[in-house]
């Protein structure tokens, strides 16, 4: 069976979107617990985009972003990427460590804090996926890259490229007080896992 | 005459006559293949995503793959006057943006793209005269028809012209 985001029916799409909503909700709850702060979240936007459009959501392929990448293994295999615009990366570090220094450079402490955030968000996302589908999913340690949006995104885009010419992107906005963060999550099941995932969700 | 600057997106192929500048922003694990016919001053750029159309079932988009995109690019350049015997190549990109402890085939995609591009250019007897590939960082590339120079910008890894 050949499957990609372009030829999903509306029922399948709705289920995947709902999965995105629940996953993002759990991820933000986890972040809220970690920070011990009340975090408000808007309803996540789930979008299907053409490959070439993806870097544009960050304002262009050259704009620097933080990308946190994890590998899923188990009943479903694939990757998860959590993406933050630079401004949001700084706001998050500020929330986490209280008072972000000036300047654009991140030190090792900042980088490992960002990795940890990615770990928690992706971890809670996959555990809600596991709970909903009854699947066993393990997540790797995160890898981090801060670089041009196009370059960071080339990795998931290439993976989606094995399936077709479009991607599913879950965009989450959340805030703590007047600090606003925009985060994006890409769920990239491996080609052979995609049908399996739809089956487990009862919409194959 | 004003020089037209054309952006080449992911999985796109474009040929142009002098004066022209072809640009790809934020190249990561993909490879930018830049072909130049110095006599006819025809340039072409392909933004390649994957090594081979033969490995993938859903392969209708020819501009995605090294094997099919390079053929497409040569044909487009010939259509506007290039002679394939005088075409040379410069290539850039093919970075590994993320490193995991457990090595994963999917993450080596940059390297595999570069290998495939070298192989395909060799098959068409096109010489690679300069390259800037690998590493773990993104590149913005600008290719100029006036002299076939390729300028490469990065974040934190300098700027160069090859």
User: Cβ A64–B58 below 8 Å, yes or no?
Assistant: no
Active site residue B30: yes
**Which of A93-97, A99-103, A147-151, B106-110 is predicted with the least confidence, judged by mean pLDDT?**
A99-103
Structural domain total, chain B: 1
Query: What are the residue boundaries of the structural domains of chain A, listed by start?
Result: 5-200
Q: Which domain holds residue B147?
A: 4-161
Rg (Cα) of chain B, in Å, rounded?
15
Instruction: Centre a 10 Å sphere on the Cβ of residue A174 and count the other Cβ atoms it contains.
Output: 21
Cis peptide before B88 (omega within 30 of 0): no
- Distance from the A25 Cα atom to the nearest Cα atom in chain B, whole angstroms: 26
Which pLDDT does position A60 carry in this prediction? 84
Query: Are residues A148 and B25, on separate chains, in Cβ contact within 8 Å?
Result: yes
User: What CATH number is given to the structural domain containing B148?
Assistant: 3.30.1330.200
**Tell me, what's the pLDDT at B69?**
95
Select from 3.40.50.2300, 1.10.3080.10, 3.40.1550.10, 3.40.50.12500 the CATH code of A5-200: 3.40.1550.10
Catalytic residue among B30, B48, B82, B114: B30
pLDDT in tens, A136-190: 888 887 888 989 999 998 888 887 777 666 777 777 777 777 888 888 877 777 7
ipTM for this prediction = 0.88
The one-digit pLDDT tens for each residue of chain B (162 residues) are 567 789 998 889 999 998 999 999 999 999 999 999 999 999 999 999 999 888 877 777 888 899 999 999 999 999 999 999 999 999 999 999 987 655 556 568 899 999 999 999 999 999 999 999 999 999 999 999 999 999 999 988 889 999
Query: Cα–Cα distance between A8 and B44 in angstroms, integer?
Result: 35
Contacts of A144 in chain B (CB under 8 A): 98
CA–CA distance, A118 with B3 (Å, rounded to integer): 43
Looking at CA atoms only, how far is residue B114 from chain A in angstroms? Answer: 14
Q: How far apart are CA B84 and CA B113, in angstroms?
A: 22
Asked whether A138 and A74 are in contact (CB, 8 A), the reply is yes
Q: What is the CA radius of gyration of chain A?
A: 16
């Amino acid at each position: 069976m050949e499957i990609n985001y372009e030829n999903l029916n509306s029922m399948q799409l709705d289920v995947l979107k709902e999965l995105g909503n629940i996953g993002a909700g759990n991820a933000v709850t986890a972040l809220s617990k970690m920070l011990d702060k009340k975090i408000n979240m808007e309803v996540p936007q789930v979008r299907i985009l053409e490959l070439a459009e993806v870097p544009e959501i960050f304002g262009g392929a050259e704009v620097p972003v933080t990308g946190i990448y994890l590998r899923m293994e188990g009943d479903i295999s694939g990757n998860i990427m959590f993406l933050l615009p630079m401004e949001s990366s700084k706001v998050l570090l500020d929330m986490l460590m209280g008072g972000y220094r000036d300047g654009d450079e991140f030190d090792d402490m900042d980088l490992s804090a960002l990795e940890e955030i990615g770990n928690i968000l992706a971890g809670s996302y996959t555990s809600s996926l596991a709970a909903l589908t009854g699947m066993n999913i393990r997540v790797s340690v995160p890898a981090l890259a801060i670089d041009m949006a196009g370059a960071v995104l080339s990795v998931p885009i290439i993976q989606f490229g094995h399936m077709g010419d479009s991607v599913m992107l879950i965009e989450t906005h959340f805030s703590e007080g007047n600090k606003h963060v925009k985060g994006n999550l890409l769920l990239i099941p491996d080609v052979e896992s995609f049908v399996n995932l739809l089956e487990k969700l009862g919409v194959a | 005459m004003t020089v037209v600057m054309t952006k080449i997106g992911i999985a796109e192929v474009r040929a142009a006559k002098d004066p022209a500048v072809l640009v790809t922003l934020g190249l990561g694990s993909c490879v930018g293949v830049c072909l130049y016919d110095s006599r006819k001053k025809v340039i072409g750029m392909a933004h390649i995503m994957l090594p081979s159309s033969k490995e993938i079932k859903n392969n209708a988009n020819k501009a995605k793959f090294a094997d099919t995109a390079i053929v497409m690019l040569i044909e487009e350049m010939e259509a506007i006057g290039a002679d394939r015997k005088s075409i040379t190549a410069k290539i850039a990109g093919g970075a590994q943006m993320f490193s995991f402890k457990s090595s994963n085939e999917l993450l080596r995609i940059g390297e595999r793209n570069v290998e495939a591009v070298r192989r395909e250019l060799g098959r068409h007897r096109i010489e690679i005269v300069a390259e800037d590939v690998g590493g773990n960082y993104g590149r913005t590339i600008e290719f100029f028809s006036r002299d076939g120079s390729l300028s490469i910008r990065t974040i934190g890894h300098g700027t160069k012209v090859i």
